[in-house]
Amino acid sequence: MDILKRVASEMEEDILWFVRKSCSQNYGLDKIGSSCLVALIWREKLYILNIGDSRLLLGSELGNTAIIKVKQLTTDHNCKNKLIRVQVRRTHPNSNILKQDAKKNWRIKGHSKVFFGIFNIYFKF
């Protein structure tokens, strides 16, 4: 759905505008980030907008039991995901942006595990 793409784009533009305007008064504002997860059912179809480190899970009962089967419908947008690490390296081929911390957790610029996100201006410039 184009509307979800437009919502994500406009949200990002508005946040970038706000940060540029407010950064001189709010130090560190450029280092905060957020996630957005929208699930929309339209005409019996499920549409998903996922930016950041949120998960959309679908639960369904197994027959007449009390057991719930859970299926993850979104991909994790963090550096635990090998595909994200590959994308980080492709996006920044001449940079040492991706590092592991002392606990062997992957981080971007030593700070965040999340590659995609709303805000995260520090990682976008």
pLDDT in tens, 11-40: 778 877 777 777 666 666 656 666 788 888
Given a cut of 60, whether residue 122 has pLDDT beyond it is: no
Q: Give buried/exposed letters for 106-117 (b at 16+ CB in 10 A, else e).
A: bbbeeebbbbbb
C-alpha torsion sign, points 82, 98, 56, 10: negative
- Global pTM reads 0.57
Segment 104-110 shows an average pLDDT of: 74
Q: Is 91 or 70 the better-scoring residue by pLDDT?
A: 70
CATH superfamily assigned to domain 2-124: PPM-type phosphatase domain (3.60.40.10)
Enumerate the domain spans of the chain. 2-124
